[in-house]
Amino acid sequence: MGTYRICMCFKRKYKVKETGPPQEVKEAFKKYTEGGNQMTVEQLTRFLVEFQGESGASTSDAGQIVEQLLQKRYPVGTKYTKKYTLTLDDLNRYLFSPDLNPPIGDQVYQDMTAPLSHYFTYTGHNSYLTGNQINSDCSVVPIIKALKRGVRVVELDIWPSDDTTHGVHVYHGWTLTTPVEIIECLKSIREHAFSASPYPVIITLEDHLTPDLQAKVAQLITQTFEDMLFYPQPERLKEFHSPEELKYRIIISTKPPKEYLKAKSEKGNKPHEENDSDEDAWAKAPSDLTTDQEVVTSGSDSSPDEDNDDCESRLPGVCTYKSLIAIHAGKPKGGLKEALKVELEKVRRLSLSEQALEKATSSHGTDVIRFTQRNILRVYPKGTRLNSSNYNPLIGWMHGAQMVAFNMQGYGKYLWLMHGMFRSNGGCGYVKKPDFLMKLGPDNSVFDPKAKLQVKKTLKVKVYMGDGWHSDFSQRHFDSFSPPDFYTRVGIAGVPADKVMKETKTKQDDWSPVWDEEFIFPLTVPELALLRVEVNEHDISRNDDFAGQNCLPVWELRPGIRAIPLFNRKGEKYNSVRLLMRFEFI
């Protein structure tokens, strides 16, 4: 008779231990309560001003904090005596709350009265795609999600169609992406344009239409947006309007119709090639980039007959397609130097692929920055990013590019940087460019991102602890047999001299890890620095597991001890997961 082995399997429950306040919080509480066990409103005010660096904090502010904490401490409906004092645990609960003690502010604070060219603008690429660039669905859903996040530039590719009421579809041309009707896209933009921000939404159109269909689109745009639509003056702008002037307005940006038709007849449309790719034909030239090949840019001299567009005669009473374009595209002749020419009498937009931008900044970086001081530069992903991945946005930002266009469904590190940049300025979708990108230095010099600069500011970051994973993840999500082993990576994304990543030690078997580690980051250009925070769970047998991330603009970090909410790979905030960190500028 054989031997039988009986396996008894048990579900193991991991006990989550209570993690108390960090030692520094205990010491601060003792100091400001003068050794007592209750913190008054007046003592909390001193703590906020002196320890947290909130110079404008008042006793009224402190009183509101105490009231909010007392409401959280007691169940709804419970009657309690308002003593207006805090215990040590109350103070720690306040510090560890992302809602009550966030790392950055949530209000628009920058000057919004400068021309549009003075701002980085939250920009989408192929905004209608739900997935990859080849065979995903086209839908209004990603457009709505982007607008709710604060994206201010939406791109639509418009193509003729025989099976729709209006004869116009939105989809990624020469691919298997399923189309969506343009009217559905326009209605969704109208409904959600200002759900996250009152500042203007710019629609960039990649136009593949006949003149009659262009006239129909003009009619749809005017009827859909009505008073929301910004109508440009007949004469060309010498300077762009400001975000403040354009509040609650929809702006159209594209090439004048006949220039599109001319470009198509000369070069044709290739599969997976964005129409704007004509705009950087010089980028395909040898490394010296001195080609005489024609370059398509925005807003340059047009041919004599283009001002006699007869769209209106074909559809009487309707604004011509061309007359709706507030940020123009055009087609001058010449090479890179001509494309980046700054004209005093008019402003324009130039679109370049990420590859073309890299070549341009490598050989003509000064010209790129001079161009972006008055004009708008749009950068878009190269055509080979079929999986909707993205590129490093800092290359564009370091050279003043306002519209760094991203696939908002292309999750990953670079999209996290994009989210981080546009958490700035209250998340309104417009971030004022640093002064050094807008002004000339001695001898008419401009900013050089690669130059060796002195350290302007040093950021000291302390990572105390983390919590919330046991609430947002199943007990066996990270490890089937033991609690997780978390470590935190923290670093800077910015100019090359400032770029760095560091990490804490791994905290073994702990759902509420305490690291208590400090990092120093010398910054030469803090105005373009983003703080990257990423938590992973160490796994010996396979790749480490992702456990959350956040990216924050360094120039807006609030000094003191702050609660840092963490987000998933898609940029969606976890319900409970957060870190407790301290920021200090020295």
Measured CA to CA, the distance from residue 499 to residue 508 in angstroms comes to 29
Q: Do residues 213 and 165 lie in contact, with contact meaning Cβ atoms separated by under 8 Å?
A: no
Do 498 and 525 contact (CB within 8 A), yes or no? yes
Other Cβ atoms closer than 10 A to 296: 26
Tell me how far apart the alpha carbons of residues 407 and 391 are, in angstroms, rounded to a whole number.
Answer: 10
The whole-angstrom separation of Cα 309 and Cα 328 is 15
- Give the CB-side neighbour count of residue 434, counting CA atoms within 13 A: 19
CB 95 within 8 A of CB 65: no
- ∠ at Cα 278 (276, 282), nearest 5°? 125
d(CA 65, CA 304): 66
Q: How far apart are CA 484 and CA 577, in angstroms?
A: 14
From 205, 197, 234, 240, select the one nearest 402 (Cα to Cα). Answer: 240
Measured distance CA(273)–CA(382) in Å, rounded: 9
Nearest Cα neighbor of 33 from 45, 23, 22, 21 is 45
Q: Structure tokens of 116? A: 């549009």
Q: Is 364 an active-site residue?
A: no
Q: What's the longest Cα–Cα distance across the chain?
A: 101
Active site residue 172: yes
Catalytic-role residue among 169, 172, 399, 470: 172
* Active-site residue, from 118, 125, 169, 208: 125
Place of tokens 């940006």: 253
Which residue, among 444, 424, 423, 356, has the nearest Cα to 395 in the 3D structure? 356
Residues assigned a catalytic role: 125, 172
